[in-house]
């Protein structure tokens, strides 16, 4: 019997692949925010967590819009202003 590998990421749903892709991106921002917790006030963390929870709850609906890529992409950019996740993962910013 092959060993079972457990991951914290859900598999991408064939039914809603776009929503699942974006869900994973928002979860990355949540993890990044948690690592930065000491650098922000509890109020700021709480506000961003609330916003992330709200977006994740509306993600399926947002992804059904004709311009979902633009809408959700814009929201992701706003979160990136706080977490700076893209700067951490952008290969042009490595030392």
Boundaries of every domain in the chain: 17-85
Provide mean pLDDT across the span 12-20. 71
User: For the whole model, what pTM was predicted?
Assistant: 0.73
The pLDDT value recorded for residue 86 is: 86
84 backbone φψ class: left, alpha, beta (φ>0; ψ -120 to 50)? left
Count the neighbouring beta carbons within 10 Å of the beta carbon of residue 54.
10
The pLDDT value recorded for residue 8 is: 47
Longest dimension (CA), the chain: 48
pLDDT at 16 over 80: no
Q: For 18-77, how does the pLDDT look when each residue is reduced to its tens digit (9 = 90+)?
A: 999 999 999 999 999 999 999 999 999 999 999 999 999 999 999 999 999 999 999 999
pLDDT at 5 over 60: no
The pLDDT value recorded for residue 92 is: 55
Q: How far apart are CA 66 and CA 53, in angstroms?
A: 23
User: In Å, how far are 17, 42, 47, 48, 65 from 22, measured between CA atoms?
Assistant: 9, 26, 20, 17, 14
């Amino acid at each position: 019997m092959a060993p079972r590998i457990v991951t914290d990421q859900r598999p991408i749903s064939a039914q809603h692949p776009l929503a699942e892709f974006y869900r994973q991106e928002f979860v990355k921002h949540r993890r990044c925010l948690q690592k930065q917790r000491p650098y922000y006030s509890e109020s700021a963390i709480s506000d961003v967590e609330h916003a992330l929870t709200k977006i994740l709850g509306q993600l399926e609906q947002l992804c059904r819009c004709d311009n979902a890529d633009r809408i959700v992409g814009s929201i992701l950019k706003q979160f990136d202003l706080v977490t700076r996740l893209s700067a951490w993962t952008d290969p042009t910013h490595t030392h």
